[in-house]
Structure 1
Amino acid sequence: MPFESWVERALDKWPNVPALYGWLSLDRRGRWRIRGETISRPQIVETIGANYAADARGCWFFQNGPQRGYMNLEWMPFVLRRGEGDLLMTHNGRPVEQLRSAYLDEEGSLLIATEHGAGGVDSNDLDGVLAHLHADDGSDVEDCLLAALATPGGSATRLRLSIGGQSLPVERLDDRDAPAALGFVREPQP
């Protein structure tokens, strides 16, 4: 996603501004934070969301004019929410059109790799998204969920996620293994 034009102009004007680490974060609810305090001003929230991207290392950042402010991630790079119909949306308002893989962690959270990056389904929307799970073999979904939670990370499950016209197998993935498996860094360093 391209940055807003003012960011591109600032990058051209000041190309060597040092990056900022450890100040910004994204919490499990999809709220931006600065030094632990939630950012609530709508214009700032919108600007961060519009200029949020990842570098080649999988470190997520907010491009603030010529400066990158790297985000510490409490959980995932994106928090996914239910949009209209079967549509999923990222916490910063991007519609999800491509589901690439789906995982269930040891706590029962649903993790999904999308065209935007890795996201976890917001717990407020989890029940609605879990309603799109079914068992490959027609078994009871709740029994399959319990069985999946009892299996070790890296295991296949009998579950499929069918949402937005797409259907994916659901694998087990432990939270600690999610960054390496899904290609992101929770605490970027210089």
Structure 2
Amino acid sequence: MDDIVQAALKKWPNVPHCYGWLALDARGDWYMRDERIQRAGPFPRVKGSRIDHDKLLGFIARNYDVDERGAWFFQNGPQRVYVELELTPWVWRLQPGGGVTSHTGRSVQVESAWLDEAGHLYLLTDLGFGLVHTQDMALAAEAVEAGRWMPQDCIAAKLPSLHGYQRRPHP
């Protein structure tokens, strides 16, 4: 977590948490969801405004964390902004040669692979559980065919409880 965020938490320890204003889609993109967007419908049916600003994306990535309930959040100074997840808290990008990184740019080591009833591929890593980005399925198929990953069957609806995360955090 950024030093400036740590200092803000000490200076203003009782700022209320924020829900419904930030979301992460299945492609690793962040979305702002103002009051008008929230009234228009739930995420991901109504996504909101995609965040494209590089410095803001970097700030979110450095301050993205999970609480004891399995609810993921972005610590924005003294305010904790909880994140709605389309599918998982992490979206994995695969690199030629076998490397795997998170949507926040962190390198990870794969522990196991999972395949749901819709054909989505998930990886459990040393950082946590997440979805393989759809654009990287050719590289994922190579890893499976080479025997590096042996996907286990799973049911998508059971993944949040199995891996300890909340898709729709609430107070």
* Interval containing the TM-score (normalised by the shorter chain): 0.7 to 0.9
Match of 1:18 among 16, 19, 25: 16
Q: Name the SS for the 1:133 alignment partner.
A: helix
Q: Deviations over 1:152-179 (max 9, x none)?
A: xxxxxxxx5x1xxxxx542111111111
The letter of the residue matching 2:140 is V
Maintained 8 Å contact 2:95/2:139: no
SS state of the match for residue 47, structure 1? helix
TM-score scaled by length of structure 2: 0.87
Question: Could you say what secondary structure the match of 2:59 adopts?
Answer: helix
Shift of 1:22: 0.7
Shift of the alpha carbon at 1:100? 2.8
Of all paired residues, the percent bearing the same amino acid is 41
Larger radius of gyration: 1
Unaligned runs of 5+ in 2: 34-47
1:87 and 1:180 mapped to 2: Cα distance? 27
Alignment of 1:83-162 (within 5 A): 83=95, 85-97=97-109, 99-134=110-145, 162=148
Q: Indicate the structure with greater strand content.
A: 1
TM-score (ref. length: structure 1)? 0.79
**Which of 163, 167, 171 pairs up with 1:186?**
167
Task: Tell me what 2:38 maps to.
Answer: none
Match for 2:30: what amino acid? W
TM-align CA RMSD:
1.4
The aligned amino acid for 2:3 is S
Q: Which of the pair is proportionally richer in helix?
A: 2
Task: Tell me which stretches of 4 or more aligned residues in structure 1 moved more than 3 Å.
Answer: none
Describe the SS at the equivalent of 1:6.
helix
Counterpart residue type for residue 55 of structure 1 = D
Over residues 38-61 of structure 1, what are the superposed CA-to-partner deviations in whole Å (9 max), with x where a residue is unaligned? 011111111001100111111100
The structural deviation recorded for 1:131 is 1.0
Q: CA deviation at 1:101?
A: 2.6
**Residue 84 of structure 1: CA displacement?**
5.0
Gaps of 5+ in 1: 136-159, 163-167
Larger relative contact order, structure 1 or 2 (CA cutoff 8 Å, min sep 6): 2
What count of residue pairs does the alignment treat as equivalent? 157
Q: Does 1:61 align with 2:73?
A: yes
In the alignment, which residue of structure 2 is the partner of 1:140?
A: none
